[in-house]
Amino acid sequence: MLCLRSIAATAFALVASVATLQAFDSTKYPDLSGQWLGVRLPVGGQPAFDPTKAWGRAQQAPLTPEYQKVLEASLEDQKNGGQGNWHPGDSCLPPGMPAMMTLFQPMEVIVLPETTYIRIDHTHESLRRIYTDGRDWPKEPIEPTFVGYSIGKWIDEDGDGKFDVLEVETRHLKGPRPLDPAGMPTHVDNQSIVKERIFYSKTDPKILQNEITLIDNAFTRPWTVLKSYRRHPEKYSEWQENVCASENVLVKIGKETYFKGADGNLMPTRKGQPGPDFKYFQQVSK
Amino acid sequence: MNYQKSIGAIALAALLWATVGTVQAFDEAKYPDWKGQWRRGDAGGPRYDPSKPLNAQQAPLTEEYKAIYAASIADQNAGGQGNDPTYTCVPPGMPRIMSIYDPLEIVITPSTTHMFMQHIHDSRRIFTDDRPWPTDFEPTFAGYSIGKWIDTDGDGRYDVLEVETRDLKGPRAYDGLGLPLHRDDKTIIKERLYTDKANPNIIINEITTIDSALTRPWTATKKYRRVATNDKAVWPESVCAEGNQHVEIAGQNYFLGADGLLMPTRKNQSPPDLKHFK
């Protein structure tokens, strides 16, 4: 009897000991490994914030009248060959939050107990650190960034001992951060707050979903959308580098955007566009 | 007796659970503690061989590439950018990445060791899942890296990460002076990363570059110093395109003035050719 009790005690002590050594029980978290691609619905146009509607005006974004005008001006400029309000185009600026979660390029998610990392190489190498270590918002002023400062919390919704939802709030953003290639604007005050719930679809467990709510002063109310991501089927997915600077054929000079032709020389992006002003050069251009 | 059997069974089940749990879970304790924020550990500015000054690296360049290097320095002395491609926000690529221009975070998972550095697209994935070299990989500035964790002292914990990097694209230079790598981009880089035995806050990287512009493999030893734990680290965002005033047009470097208009970068420089405008 004593012998058996000793075995039991030893076994449970071992369990406790092993559990202590295992700093990270990955089985408690959903498997988010692999390469994730944005699910595109046949709605037309380029990928937009609400994936169920076409880009531009068809998004039916709850914009304030002031920011509806900003969108209209962007669309008008794009109609004339410009880039409008979409800065990743000619300026190689990162899309930032929340546009980056549209997944213009593949996403990798790395889950560790203290931090969930989201890496998306689009225009810029954008890396989100979602802190899940129980920290509070920084008390000291922090430098705003395009990806913002994100605090997350893993939730076991169904009580089965495993986490199934990652709730995230993102603040401290900088701009400009348009929401889509049409130039759907966010407010210039950059006071956006982005809330996310990331979870596997209950109807299709292969689909990862992200319910995003954007709270921003360019909108009359919080704007909530549901994005879906699918895992790339290949075992060893290829991660391509997306380096805007080495691939970009657009160059912005003054307020005008030009093409760089095959010979490297400047070309107009619209009919009748004048060449750049060379007032700082002593010689007259050819 | 049945009660005793039950205790025994529970004990056995507990042992089995522990075993299964060990197999399924990621045992961080097997890997070195490289958490936190790391910066360049060698004094002076970024360069390939930290044991020598930037302008006296004594790289074993071929004669052809010595001439390219000399031309780069001469161009920089005349106001140009020489052979350094990063001025228009082209990534430094490997091996220059590992001179660490911005803070480094190393995230270890069983399948991949991630090296996160902002700067200009400097982050790396080092695959440690025993995969073979790809047969159709599109070359990148960071290259394709396969690594292997090694327990050199047999204590049950990994202490060395050996890495080989191939499939690189260019243009790449070793440093800001434009010390060149070969245009054929057949570079192979081998690394051995391990914790300094005398200081757990120092990582040593023995890095060897094999490149057609060199007469022999070139080895340097770099140090990285832990400057903050994860809970204290502040990670700045580095967006090269933001505020970059350099523009390359038809092989010439120009400067964007405060009003966004082109300016020359050298005396008597001609403006770009506008032959495509009527």
CA B10, B16, B20, B22 torsion: positive or negative? positive
pTM of the entire predicted model: 0.87
Nearest to B7 among A4, A93, A239 (CB): A4
Q: Does some domain include residue A266?
A: no
- 8 Å CB contact of A264 and B249: yes
pLDDT at A283: 55
pLDDT, position B3: 46
What total number of domains does chain A contain?
1
Residue A8: predicted pLDDT? 44
Q: Is B265 helix (H, G, I), strand (E, B) or coil?
A: coil
Domain that holds residue A76: 36-231
CA distance, residue A58 to nearest chain B CA (Å): 31
**ipTM of predicted assembly, 2 dp:** 0.86
- Token duo for residue A139: 């008390």
Cβ distance B8 to A5 less than 8 Å, yes or no, reads no
Residue B240 pLDDT greater than 50, yes or no: yes
Q: Of A193-202, A218-227, A240-249, B36-45, give the lowest mean pLDDT range.
A: A240-249
Q: What is the pLDDT of residue A245?
A: 76
Q: Spell out which residues of chain B touch residue A245, defining contact as CB-CB under 8 Å.
A: 88-90, 120, 240-241
Q: Is there a contact between B272 and A266 if contact means CB atoms under 8 Å apart?
A: yes
What gap in Å lies between CA B261 and CA A284, rounded to an integer? 15
Query: B251: pLDDT confidence band, cut at 50, 70 and 90?
Result: confident
**CB-based contact B264 A281, cutoff 8 Å:** yes
**Domain edges within chain B:** 29-228, 239-269
> Mean per-residue pLDDT for B93-107?
97
Residue of B235, B241, B259 with shortest CB distance to A245: B241
pLDDT > 70? residue A23 = no
The sheet carrying A250-253 orders its strands as A250-253, A256-260, A266-267
B118 → chain A, closest CA residue: A125
Dihedral sign, Cα of residue B33, residue B38, residue B44, residue B49: positive
Pairing type for strands A115-122 and A124-131 reads antiparallel
Residues 6 or more apart in contact with residue A206 via CB below 8 angstroms: A230, A231
Q: Decide if A254 and B107 are in contact by the 8 Å CB cutoff.
A: no
Q: How far is B51 from chain A (nearest CA, A)?
A: 31
Instruction: Flag whether A196 is in a domain.
Output: yes
pLDDT in tens, B258-267: 898 999 988 8
